[in-house]
Structure 1
Amino acid sequence: MSKTVLNQAEEKMNKSVEAFSRELSTIRAGRANPSLLDKVQVEYYGAITPLNQLATISVPEGRMLLITPFDKTSIQNIEKGIQKADLGLSPNNDGNVIRISIPALTDERRKELIKIIGRYAEEAKVAVRNIRRDSNDELKKLQKDGEMTEDDLKRSQEEVQKLTDKTIKTVDEYAKNKEAEVKEV
């Protein structure tokens, strides 16, 4: 029974790390990356649609994104969607494709991004700790119901703690790597 609780905890913690990783991928580190536009939503024939379903996004140069719409009539809406996303990017539309030059980061913006990374990391750690708390509560309930001994409870709680420590270490590594990427000139 405790194995089920541990497996559920591990699965939830992994999902928290994945969500954190996705959040990090949307942070612009001075290099062009198609994932910068993952959150861009475009109004297309009355429906809000993710940009990546309306166009291909490529990186022809280190600091440029090239957006090629599948339907050329949607190019104005794509441009509006990018501007509405408030990513600090300026799209240039030539009628067929949209080019976005990624400006170099200023020191001020780098510091801002590092704070944002820290905030995302803290949110991920809190989520992991909440999962630990919920798992420990479940284990205590099992012990109270007589489905596990006191020793099994201690052992299982130690396993949950090890899992928590490992997951938080992973979050810290991701954050450290992203901070290094942002600091890179």
Structure 2
Amino acid sequence: MDRPAVPSPGDEHWAPDLLVLARRTLTYAGRLLVELEPDGTVFQHSPLAGMAAVEQRYPSWAMGPFGRIEPEHALPAAAGVFALVQGGTVRYVGASTHLERTFGVRHGLGDISRRDCQQATAEERCRLNRLVVAEARAGRTVDLYVLATGRVSRWRRSTGEDPTLLAAELAEAAHGSWHLPR
């Protein structure tokens, strides 16, 4: 090939490097990439499918469909706040005690297991996975912005500012549409 490959216009994606919410600056961490089937459609699975009496025992957020999601770039192994942005609009602001694990493909937002669907503590992960997968099915991209508030020490305790309090402050400023109603 004589010249470098040029990306097609449909593959171009631009997002600002910084996002400012309530006087706090979040850094662009890349897109959330959703796994695709060989035919180009979004991979989806429902871990509770085929279980007897599932519809009566589990809430709608646990039913799926879910997908496999991973961030475009590596995330810091630190506590912090994250924002999910779609089409230039902040849709969700959340806190994490370990950003890398929160968006990891194992036990994080990246892959939802049957066990996750059966635990009320995993509701946020399941809901966010479903929303990101729905955006991918519609051909839209979700961008991830992060603000590391402290490092995770050897004993898994965060040092620095409390990410939960900061996320609540930033969520109030953003009014994201993916948050549960109050």
What is the TM-score with the length of structure 2 in the denominator? Answer: 0.22
Higher relative strand content: 2
Higher relative helix content: 1
Give the structure with higher Rg (CA): 1
